[in-house]
Amino acid sequence: MTGAGTEAGAPPLLEVEDLSVSFNTRRGVVRAVDGLSYTLDRGEALGIVGESGSGKTVGSLSILRLFGLFDDVTVTGAVRFEGRDLLRLSETEMSRVRGGQIGMIFQDPLTSLNPVMPVGEQVAESLRFHTGASRDAARRRTVELLDRVGIPDAANRYHELPHSFSGGMRQRVMVAIAVACEPKLLIADEPTTALDVTVQAQILLLLDELRREMGMALIVITHDFGVVAATADRVLVMYAAQPMEHCPTDHLFQRANHPYTEGLLRLVPRFEHRAHKRLRPIEGQPPALTEPIAGCPFEPRCTHAVDRCAAERPPPVRLGPSHHSACWLAEERARRETAPDKPWEQP
Amino acid sequence: MATGAETAARAEPAAGRSRRSWRGHGWWVFAAFLVLMAAWAAVPELFMPFDSDRLNPLRRLLSPLAVSDDGRHLAGTDSLGRDLFSQMIRGTRLTLYIAVVATTIGAAVGVLVGMLAGYFGGLPDRLLMRLGEAQTAMPMFLVAILLLSMLGPSVVILIVVLPTLVWPIFARVVRAETLQVREATYIEAAVATGCTVPAVLFTHVLPNVVPRILVLYVVEIGHVMLAEAGLSFLGVGVQPPDVTWGLLIADGRPLLTVAWWLTILPGVLLGVVVLSLNMLSRRFEQYAGAAA
């Protein structure tokens, strides 16, 4: 699938092409990401949505090649960042990219800061490594950054250890670390999952502001459509390691095409629902990723499935500029007379 | 040991309280004693009542607290009439110096090996840790005797040989801690901000294992001190005219039946220092436990 913005001569900021990641474990080969492709332009925000184990996190960690030291992992495809294939860089070149060109925010702010290192030092560390700033310059910049991400009394809190910060504050520190060197791309892996709802909104707002200020591109990994709606220009829906649907965010809520996307949207609670209306879960379980999947991975749970779905893997079908759906019925579904502007009320 | 005490404290609240208060405040006595030892090592002249080297046949083998023409001999005198207390003070510097330097070298090697083995795992882990185990399986004290008798006894060789006794202990503990720390998200986050392997090891892993190292370090100083005393006692360690407590014990041995203090008093001093180190280490252990 190709996204928007490839029409210009310049290459897009990030181009993921047919990325596949598999882990060789004792229980067999697990395909964590299977044929993922997308592009991202400068300053653009992409939301990657999927349930646990759908490959959304691994797919994004592979951009930075952050695999566990021991994982026996096979990566194929290409991840081109400003034209350079990150999968082919040396470890030293890669450490320049990490934090310098591409920032990363993790899910759990409580464990992503080193407990025995003052928070300010953790921000300054990245600055000094990537910009070669002096100790003093890095400290001044760190205080500015901490102030910018909303840490009150930043100059005095520089020397405090993470345990004296709340979850939301720690996530703000993580944001400061991630944007310290003004990266061109920020990857946020479920940045709000571990936070209170009110804090979630603040962090999302902060990310959005910083993105506009610094002109960063953003990849937000989440399972929360609310987060997608708040932050992303485009959405990529993943299921069982494969991309299912890729579309502009407003299309997602008005013209979702893929049966899986539709099923997910039906599960978002709505104010319009009458109080007694039950949410209808998608029947069945996601497939085991150790088994090869011949057809569409969603076929066993899909209420629209036809014979072909089990036998052949559907290619992404282009439904409009930057709207693709990996479904054999995509065109047919797109032609439906009543555009499902309220997919959650469909039969 | 500490775990046992904690369990007991939990089981009996009344006894536990008294014990906890002892554990809370008793340590400073031992710390103060060690500070005194450090002072003895730093400026022995200030503390020595007599010139430790001056021979005086007229005051040979005086028992502790005996008074000669020169004054009172707190720890008695040896067969050449030298004041034992002054000699013990004089021996402090070399005793502590050898123990601290050798333990520090052993700790540095062990910490490095442990971090590398724990962080990388796999083949480096197996190689390094098997090396440590193979060495632990050998009677290192005997190997040390062999080496020292072959190379000739000297302080320098002692400082090279003694660390081999302790580095595997540090390596094992640090490896185990590193295995835990390695899995933490903040290590992944550090890599994601561009930290290279040395940066991750020294700025992120090391500070997290320091509390455990400190506990071990203090205990191991005691062990090394005992090992040095053992080697010196056997005549392959420190040689006269240098003085260490182990050497004093050795010198007194032939006269054990007539002058017990020559052996017993340096031995007691050595024992109390090792005990103090152990007590201080337990105190650190509580801090380390609280931090973890």
Report pLDDT digits (tens) over A278-314: 777 888 888 888 888 888 888 888 888 888 888 888 9
The pLDDT tens digits of the residues spanning B14-73 come to: 444 444 544 567 788 889 999 999 998 888 888 878 777 777 777 777 777 777 777 777
Main-chain phi, psi angles of A91, to 5 degrees: -60, -35
Tens-digit pLDDT profile for residues B99-140: 999 999 999 999 999 999 999 888 889 999 999 888 888 888
A276 falls in which pLDDT band (50, 70, 90)? Answer: low
Q: Considering only the beta carbons, identify the residue of A91, A95, A114 that sits closest to B186.
A: A114
**Chain B, 178-207: which have a CB under 8 Å from a chain A CB?**
182, 184-186, 188-196, 199, 203-204, 207
From the CA of A125, how many Å to the nearest CA of chain B?
A: 9
Who among A69, A97, A106 is closest to B185 (CB)?
A: A106
pLDDT of residue B24: 61
Q: What's this model's pTM, rounded to 2 decimal places?
A: 0.77
In this model, does residue A217 exceed pLDDT 90?
A: yes
User: In chain A, which among 191-250 make CB contacts under 8 A with chain B?
Assistant: none
What lies within 8 Å, CB to CB, of A330 at 6+ separation is: A257, A258, A314, A317, A319
Spans of all domains in chain A: 43-56+90-238, 244-345
Q: Is the separation of the CB atoms in A45 and A230 below 8 Å?
A: no
DSSP strand pairing (A84-85 vs A102-105) = unpaired
A182 inside 8 A of chain B by CB: no
pLDDT class for B151, splitting at 50, 70, 90?
A: confident
AA letter at A340: P
CA pair distance A23, A28, nearest whole angstrom: 8
User: Which whole number is the average pLDDT over B265-276?
Assistant: 91
Give tens-digit pLDDT for A54-91: 888 888 888 988 886 656 888 999 999 998 899 888 88
pLDDT mean across residues, chain B = 83
Instruction: State how far the alpha carbon of A120 is from the alpha carbons of A127, A145, A159, B205, B260, in Å.
Output: 11, 10, 6, 18, 61
* Identity of the residue in B119, B192, B208 whose CB atom sits nearest the CB atom of A116: B208
Specify whether the CB–CB gap between A222 and A204 falls below 8 A: no
Asked whether the CA dihedral A271, A273, A278, A282 is positive or negative, the reply is: negative
What's the 3-state SS for A51-70? CCCCCHHHHHHCCCCCCCCC
What pLDDT score was predicted for residue A19?
A: 92
Phi and psi angles of residue B160, each rounded to the nearest 5 degrees, phi first: -80, -35
**What is the model's pLDDT at position A138?**
92
User: Mean per-residue pLDDT for B80-85?
Assistant: 82
CB pair distance less than 8 Å for B121 and A70: yes
pLDDT at B3: 45
Chain A residues with CB inside 8 Å of B123's CB? none
pLDDT digits (tens, 9 = 90+) for B180-201: 888 888 888 888 888 888 889 9
Mean of pLDDT values over A157-179: 91
Residue carrying structure tokens 């797919």: A59
> What is chain A's mean pLDDT, rounded?
85
CA distance A103 to chain B (A): 7
pLDDT at B10: 45
Q: In the beta sheet, which residues pair with residue A75?
A: A21
Which pLDDT score is estimated for A118?
92
Highest mean pLDDT among A1-10, A298-307, A332-341, B267-276: B267-276
Is A125 within 8 Å of B191 when comparing Cβ atoms?
no
Q: Indicate whether A45 pLDDT > 90.
A: yes
Instruction: Please indicate whether, in this complex, the C-beta atoms of B208 and A115 are within 8 angstroms of each other.
Output: yes
Strands (DSSP E) contained in A65-178 are 73-81, 84-85, 102-105
The rounded distance, in Å, linking the Cα atoms of A78 and A18 is: 7
CATH 3.40.50.300 fits A43-56+90-238, yes or no: yes
Contacts of B195 in chain A (CB under 8 A): 95, 99, 125, 129
A173 in Cβ contact with A162 (< 8 Å): yes
